[in-house]
Amino acid sequence: MFGRNQLILALFFVFQITQALHFYVKTGETKCFYEELMQDTLVVGKVAAYEKRENSDEYVQNHNLRVQITVDETFDDDHRVVDQKATAEGDFTFTSLDAGEHKFCLTPVYLDKTHNKVHRIFFDVAQGSAHDYVDSKSAKSVDELTLKIQRLYEQLDKIHWEQEYMRQREAEFRDQSESTNSRVVKWTIVQLIVLIGTCAYQLRHLKSFFVKQKIV
């Protein structure tokens, strides 16, 4: 049986964050990241892009701002598996068909051809087994998974509490057994002392009786 910590770690590795970062880039410039993926890996990415206001350090969203997202298989002559233009706060999903290094590239662009802007882009990627998530775009599946993990946590806590309770009861029973055994040994010794004393008294009494009767 796996220990509690091992089971929790196994659950966490089913669907884990592989990248969570932010970076700064100008309009039209491309920023790329590389990630090793196993075969049949479900990848879920989230993007949040902001533009910097002129003469200010504040970053805000623009409804005309888009993020061009591409994912290429570097091990297969840069075969493109994702080519998508996401909103300023959007996401993308795909399943890796083969194992190897994948290149994620993001480019901020505008629908109205705005240029020369500075952008701050937040980029999060999560990956897990595609066999466990057939419908990767369904929020309901993610909610159900979260609920299942919460239930498993509750069950683990309950099992842990029961184990602690059983250990406590076992310790109490062991202490009680040792105490009982100790009392039994002491009572046995007392009985032996009483028995030996009684025998010695009876022998002395009989000897005295025989002497008085001049039998011995």
Confidence band of 58 (pLDDT split at 50, 70, 90): very high
Please report the domains of the chain, with CATH numbers, ordered by start residue.
15-136 (2.60.120.680)
pLDDT tens-place string over residues 6-46:
444 444 444 444 556 889 999 999 999 999 888 888 888 89
pLDDT at 81 exceeding the cut of 80: yes
Listed in sequence order, the residues at least 6 apart from 49 whose beta carbon sits closer than 8 Å to its beta carbon are: 61, 65, 66, 67, 88, 89, 108, 119, 120, 121, 122
pLDDT tens-place string over residues 144-198:
667 777 778 778 877 887 888 788 888 888 888 888 888 888 888 988 998 888 8
pLDDT of the residue at 162: 81
Distance of CA 108 to the CA centre of its chain: 35
pLDDT tens-place string over residues 108-118:
999 998 888 99
pLDDT at 104 exceeding the cut of 90: yes
**Distance between first and last Cα of the chain:** 79
